[in-house]
Amino acid sequence: MTRVRHAALALLLAATASTAFAQPRAPHRCAADARSHAARLLALHRGPDDRIAIDSAVRVLAPVRNPVGGTPPQLLDVLEVQGYIYRARYRMRFLYAPLRETPNECVLMGQEILELARV
């Protein structure tokens, strides 16, 4: 039993040390594009409003498979941005296709918006 505890403790310490000294991740190449699309999507969804605010943080989520399929399957990058109008909060997700030919280009393939509210 003590060997298991020692192994678990060693694993926990190794994981903690690796995250403590990890370099901060560079922002996703399409983060600025996602923020600019977020303001337009929120205005399209709720109408023009001078109280629209977009959070500067862009979360990179796990990639999703392109529903069209193919071999090998194409993965789409998913970026999440928070937006606000007065006291309402919205979560917007943007799906980008990573292109090998032009790696710095941002090709928006899909978008979704959800108001974060309890009904």
Give the start-to-end residue ranges of the domains of the chain: 25-115
pLDDT at 99: 82
pLDDT of residue 19: 46
The predicted-structure confidence for 39-71, as pLDDT tens digits, reads as follows 999 999 989 889 999 999 999 999 999 988 777
- φ, ψ at 104 (rounded to 5°): -95, -5
Q: Cα-atom radius of gyration of the chain, to the nearest Å?
A: 19
Residue 10: pLDDT band by 50, 70, 90 thresholds?
low
Supply 118's token pair. 């309890």
Its pTM surpasses 0.85 = no
